[in-house]
Amino acid sequence: MLWRRGDADGTRSSFCGWDLACYEQAFPCPQSFVFGASYANLPGERICSGFVHSFARKEATMIKRWSVMIGVALVVVLLLLAFGRDSSAFTGNQANTVQVIESDFSITSSQTSFEPGMTYHFVIVNDSADPHEFMIGPKTPDDMPMDQMHKMMLAMVDNIAPYQSAMLDVTFPMTMATPAHGMGDGMGSNGMSHLEFSCHLPGHYEAGMMLPIKVSAG
């Protein structure tokens, strides 16, 4: 409630608002004032300035608190709007996340078909008591030296410790893509065919640690 200034003739004229000096002038205290008392029959329905002073301070404190709360709420809204603008990119990255599990002795993946030019975020988990490696590249001859094999790979993680994980961002080039709709001989423009995920630690590939994948342009 906003108290009005009391005029001498007992009428009400203007609002004091939050001006404490206005209240002190409009509602002076009698000499016998006991703090907190009020006088209902004084001209202009005056009340003791001490009471008004306390009342106005409480109201001003409440306004400050509400102002702070509104300010905080606006900041939260702005942050949510900013997050909403960035969330599309975040969601896109999440949509391109590929989960790969390596175990003894197999490879499973949440996705085996890929598009050239798109970046994929691989999360590779070694779910076994043995170390493994992770390679993305063409199928290679069994007798190819390891250093030469590594040079042919698009991407690789050399060693993933037991029950540990690794992450890898990979963009498949257009040269690895086969013709759309599975037509053609399954060979990319660079001559690479039979792409796969694999682990070539001694004996692992032979035991079954490979998974064919496909990169298609449509």
pLDDT in tens, the chain (218 residues): 344 444 444 444 444 555 555 545 555 544 444 444 444 444 433 444 444 455 556 666 777 777 777 877 887 777 777 655 544 343 445 669 999 999 999 999 999 999 999 999 999 999 999 999 999 999 998 888 989 999 999 999 999 999 999 999 999 999 888 765 444 444 454 445 589 999 999 999 999 999 999 999 86
Q: Which CATH architecture has domain 97-215?
A: Sandwich (2.60)
CA angle 194, 123, 88 (to 5 degrees): 105
pLDDT of residue 193: 56
SS3 218: coil
51-108 tens-digit pLDDT: 445 555 666 677 777 777 787 788 777 777 765 554 434 344 566 999 999 999 999 9
φ/ψ bin of 142: left (φ > 0), alpha (ψ from -120 to 50), beta (otherwise): alpha
| Nearest-angstrom CA–CA distance, 6 and 22 | 10
CA distances from 98 to 40, 61, 72, 167 (A): 78, 55, 39, 10
Name the residue ranges covered by the structural domains of the chain.
Answer: 4-90, 97-215
SS3 145: coil
